[in-house]
């Protein structure tokens, strides 16, 4: 297992390279009460339809469905802790670990933040380490929890599971007139397998976050690809020696709205692999986002993502895997009184397989290899803030999808699932 | 002091001293018809004022509570010490880069306080380097006729001298040069009521920060 060791070494190098040399000791706060944030998520779910992808199936949700009946499951969905020591007045660190139901306990994020006091209207911030790039409009805080619903959109569910690089990122913000602008640029590694789960399983909707040293299970693979590719995918892995990059632009005109555009490319070489059949995927995508506060009570969010992922060698016709993916959602949320919030979300998602008869596979089962998918989902959520440290969520979610590769589990290509969830979030 | 200069001094005093004290009420509404709170109304009489220390009735204090500055807008006379007590369980890092008073209060915890002397007039925008959503303003003035509007968008400046004066209305989100509009008025001895309509832009959205 070389990967965790490499990762530890990389974080260590960052620590030595970037730890503040000059210490203003009065500004140092390593272990006081306020450096710790924790959260417990107590969940009761009732789900119909397929078995969850978490167990290596094609189910789109976090919990197993009971087929045509409802499967009820109480769980400690998540126990999370973040440690945010302050190393100097401009340097801080975030170490975030979680025990998620369905995933082995693991480190989620670990990064340094450099944020000097602004000396003018131009502000600067840098982050370095294992972190979530700023793509999701639905997550917030050190623990990267969803704000409006229990379950994030398909786009941000995928970000949570396969877009977590070891990055060095710099952001500059500045107002120009009444408009606020920000630009972020980053280089990264350790995200070489990004796209694997999306390719073999398709889109999903869940609030799980990528483990750092552990794996995602993959659904059954077709006869060709199950030779070279493992049934387990490690989302944080350095396989080829290529450095990827991402960038983000944000514009906030004085109308209460913020627009952003994000581009990611891990520049994978497609053909490097680890001994345990983890491949270096070439994954790139665009994400556009809008966050519009119509007034004090109503807010509209939307994201559109479109990308492509490739892996493997070139066969007689195409490379082993060449898949386009796209999704979009619109979310509307309204505050009700002082404590309540009602949210609705509608989304669509699809994948298109450009290599359904790839490699040596052309003579075997074509349909099984086609990773084409079309689907949509509708979510309604109600959140009540009980105390500053407790919130109660109710959520109803329906997802429907057509996926050709379900042939591999001998189930109909079209599947629908409905889930009702209650979540009590206790923070400390 | 010669006879001539003594006479000039008396004449100057006569002109400077308010012949009559008047109450000036200003009501501020937005173009959409809503009352505008936290607008700062100042009146600068054209005639020279007898110098006197300026005192306002409210405390010169900006508390940090619930990850916000309270009050959002504070008016203080030039030369005032303003205290910044922290009532939150977390530390704040209060700063300003405004030219009227660039300063930085490094981290301090619950129930601690720091103070800053504001020796120049102007608008001092406050921020917290840890919590991007924390925004506040200290307005440093050299006139005793200054006050911010209440929830009904109204301000009454009491005891203003009758005569020509400059009326200024400032709001952090006003759509105008320097977020301010200015009017030349003549305050009548019997006082007056002035209605002002201003155009506001939406407050910047700081709800999300990583
Ligand atoms: Cu703060």
- Domains, chain A, ranges and CATH? 7-13+39-427 (2.40.160.10)
Minimal Cβ distance to B201: which of A29, A117, A178: A178
Chain B residues with CB inside 8 Å of A252's CB?
Answer: 204-205
pLDDT of residue B114: 86
Centroid of ligand 1 to alpha carbon of B130 (angstroms):
5
How many beta-carbon contacts under 8 Å exist across A and B? Answer: 56
Residues 6 or more apart whose Cβ sits within 8 Å of residue B69 = B62, B63, B126, B134, B135, B136
Structure tokens at B170: 């400032």
Nearest to B129 among A117, A120, A140 (CB): A117
Shortest CB distance from B95 goes to which of A27, A29, A117? A117
User: Which residues does chain A have with pLDDT short of 50?
Assistant: 1-3, 20-24, 359-365, 367-368
One-character DSSP codes across B90-138:
S-EEEEE--TT--EEEEEE-TT---EEEE-S-EEEEEEESS-TT-EEEE
Q: Set out the domains of chain B in order of their start, with CATH numbers.
A: 19-198 (2.60.40.420)
pLDDT value for B156: 94
Cα distance from N-terminal residue to C-terminal residue, chain A: 35
With a pLDDT cut of 70, the percent of chain A lying above it is 91
* B128 pLDDT higher than 80: yes
Nearest Cα residue to A342 out of A377, A397, A399, A394: A394
CA distances in angstroms from A421 to A73, A99, A207, A245, A377, listed in the order given: 9, 19, 12, 37, 15
pLDDT of residue A369: 66
Confidence band for B6, pLDDT divided at 50, 70 and 90: low
Which pLDDT tens digit goes with each residue over B47-94?
877 778 899 999 999 999 999 999 999 999 999 999 999 998 888 889
The alpha carbon of residue A143 is apart from the nearest alpha carbon of chain B, in Å, by: 11
The answer to whether A259 touches A403, Cβ cutoff 8 Å, is no
Beta bridge partners of B28: B196
Cβ contact, residue pair A137, B208, below 8 Å: yes
- Residues listed for chain B: 210
Entry pTM: 0.87
CA distance B100 to chain A (A): 13
Express each pLDDT in A333-368 by its tens digit. 999 999 999 999 999 999 999 886 654 444 444 544
Q: Are A425 and A397 in contact (CB under 8 A)?
A: no
Q: Which residues of B touch A134 (CB under 8 A)?
A: 210
- Shortest distance between the Cα of A322 and any Cα of chain B, in A, equals 33
- Is A29 within 8 Å of B91 when comparing Cβ atoms? yes
For residue B2, what pLDDT is reported?
60
Predicted pLDDT at B110: 76
User: Contact, A168 vs A216, CB < 8 A?
Assistant: no
What is the distance in A from the centroid of ligand 1 to the CA of A145?
A: 20
Give me ligand 1 centre to Cα A383, in Å. 26
Q: What is the pLDDT of residue A24?
A: 44
The residues, any chain, with a CB within 8 Å of residue A43's CB and separated by 6 or more, are: A73, A74, A75, A76, A77, A78, A101, A150, A421, A422, A423, A424
Residues A267 and A272: their CA atoms lie apart, in Å, by 12
């Amino acid at each position: 297992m070389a990967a965790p060791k490499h990762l530890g070494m990389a974080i260590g190098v960052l620590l030595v390279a970037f730890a503040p040399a000059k210490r203003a000791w009065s500004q140092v706060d390593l272990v006081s009460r306020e450096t710790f944030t924790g959260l417990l998520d107590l969940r009761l779910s009732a789900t119909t339809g397929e078995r969850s992808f978490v167990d290596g199936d094609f189910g789109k949700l976090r919990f197993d469905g009971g087929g045509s009946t409802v499967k009820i499951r109480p769980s400690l969905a998540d126990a999370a802790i973040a440690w945010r020591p302050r190393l100097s007045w401009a340097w801080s660190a975030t170490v975030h670990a979680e025990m998620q139901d369905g995933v082995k306990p693991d480190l989620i994020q670990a990064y340094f933040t450099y944020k000097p006091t602004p000396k003018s209207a131009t502000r600067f911030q840098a982050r370095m380490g294992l972190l979530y790039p700023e793509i999701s409009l639905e997550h917030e805080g050190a623990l990267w929890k969803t704000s409006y619903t229990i379950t994030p959109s398909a786009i941000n569910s995928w970000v949570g599971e396969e877009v977590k690089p070891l990055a060095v990122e710099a952001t500059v913000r500045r107002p120009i007139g009444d408009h606020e602008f920000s630009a972020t640029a980053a280089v990264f590694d350790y995200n070489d397998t990004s796209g694997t789960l999306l390719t073999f399983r398709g889109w999903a909707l869940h609030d799980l976050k990528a483990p750092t040293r552990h794996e995602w299970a993959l659904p059954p693979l077709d006869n060709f690809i199950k030779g070279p590719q493992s049934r387990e995918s490690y989302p944080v892995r350095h396989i080829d020696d290529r450095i990827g990059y991402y960038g983000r632009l944000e514009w906030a005109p004085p109308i209460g709205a913020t627009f952003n555009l994000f581009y990611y490319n891990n520049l994978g070489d497609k053909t490097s692999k680890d001994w345990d059949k983890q491949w270096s995927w070439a994954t790139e995508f665009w994400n556009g986002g809008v966050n519009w506060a119509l007034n004090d009570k109503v807010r509209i969010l939307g994201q559109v993502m479109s990308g492509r992922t490739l892996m493997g060698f070139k066969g007689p016709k195409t490379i082993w895997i060449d898949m386009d993916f796209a999704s979009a959602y619109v979310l509307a949320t309204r505050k009700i009184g002082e404590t309540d919030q009602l949210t609705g979300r509608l989304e669509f998602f699809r994948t298109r397989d450009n290599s359904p008869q790839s490699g040596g596979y052309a003579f075997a089962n074509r349909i099984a290899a086609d990773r084409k998918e079309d689907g949509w989902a509708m979510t309604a959520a109600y959140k009540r803030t009980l105390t500053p440290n407790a919130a109660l969520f109710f959520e109803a979610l329906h997802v429907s999808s057509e996926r050709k590769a379900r042939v591999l589990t001998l189930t109909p290509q079209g599947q629908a699932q409905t889930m009702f969830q209650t979540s009590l979030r206790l923070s400390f | 002091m010669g006879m001539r200069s003594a006479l000039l001094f008396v004449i100057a005093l006569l002109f400077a001293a308010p012949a009559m004290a008047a109450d000036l009420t200003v009501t501020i509404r937005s173009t959409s018809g809503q009352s505008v709170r936290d607008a700062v109304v100042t009146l600068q009489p054209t005639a020279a004022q007898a110098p006197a220390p300026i005192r306002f009735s409210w405390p010169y204090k900006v508390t940090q509570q619930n990850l916000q500055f309270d009050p959002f807008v504070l008016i203080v006379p030039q030369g005032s010490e303003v205290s910044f007590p922290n009532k939150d369980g977390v530390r704040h890092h209060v700063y300003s880069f405004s030219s009227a008073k660039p300063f930085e209060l490094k981290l301090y915890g619950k129930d601690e306080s720091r103070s800053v002397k504001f020796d120049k007039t102007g608008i001092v925008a406050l921020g917290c380097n840890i919590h991007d959503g924390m925004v506040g303003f200290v307005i440093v003035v050299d006139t005793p006729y200054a006050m911010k509007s209440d929830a009904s968008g109204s301000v009454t400046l009491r005891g203003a001298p009758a005569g020509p004066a400059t009326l200024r209305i400032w709001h952090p989100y006003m759509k105008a040069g320097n977020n301010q509009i200015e009017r030349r008025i003549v305050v009548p001895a019997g006082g007056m009521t002035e209605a002002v309509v201003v155009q506001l832009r939406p407050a910047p959205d700081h709800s999300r920060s990583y």
